[in-house]
Amino acid sequence: MTAKPSQHPDWDRLYEVAAAQEGLFTTQQAAEAGYSPQLLVHHVSSGRALRVRRGIYRLVHFPAGEHEELVSAWLWSEQAGVFSDQTALALHGLSDVMPAKVHLAVPEAWRQRRFRLPDELVLHYADVPKRERTWFGPVPVTSVTRTLNDCARDGLSPELLRQAAKQALRRGLAVRGDLADVRASLKPFGGLA
């Protein structure tokens, strides 16, 4: 549900939104806090805010967050995306995977959209139900089980997939019976054992 727009600029309201998003906010969120596009441009030129990418800004004096690039990508997706695949493996601390790009699952309906994809993103089109999501700080990420099965379907190397699955099982983050895609993917390579 979208918050009721403020009639007058409300810095505290904008700060509260940005604080929950590692100092970042969107043009829409600024408008809801009473900031017109012209006033937002004024704050950028006066050094109070910084334009991160089209439609996404950062409060300059807010402490830099460890995962600011993830929040920026999530805001780019209009908060509809869920970090997935290799990015989710890294966020869950599973395997030695070092993704070169950020993997983001966006709703299947986005397949029909035309937009400019930021260079650092790899999109996966999938409707991820709430039960298959968890939160990593301010951003959503696919659950461990969903992540492992997605990586298996997407052809992650057998070594990394086996390592991630074993770590998840050992740490009690997944149950062997829920990893059907992982088991099928690893079967030609000696299985999950």
User: Per-domain residue ranges for the chain?
Assistant: 11-59, 68-188
Please give the pLDDT value at position 97: 85
pLDDT at 156 over 90: yes
The answer to whether the beta carbons of residues 102 and 119 sit under 8 Å apart is: no
pLDDT digits (tens, 9 = 90+) for 75-121: 999 999 999 999 999 999 998 888 899 999 999 999 999 888 899 99
Beta carbons of 181 and 152 less than 8 angstroms apart: yes
pLDDT at 50: 95
Q: Using one digit for the tens of pLDDT, what is the confidence trace for 3-39?
A: 566 678 999 999 999 999 999 999 999 999 999 999 9
pLDDT of residue 96: 85
Q: Is the pTM of this model over 0.75?
A: yes
CB under 8 A, 24+ apart: contacts of 3-10:
3/32, 4/32, 5/31, 5/32, 5/34, 6/32, 6/33, 6/34, 7/34, 8/34, 9/33, 9/34, 9/35, 9/39, 10/34
**Local confidence band at 65 (pLDDT 50, 70, 90 cut-offs):** confident
Contacts of 160 (CB under 8 A, 6+ apart): 89, 95, 96, 97, 151
Question: What is the average pLDDT across 131-152?
Answer: 97
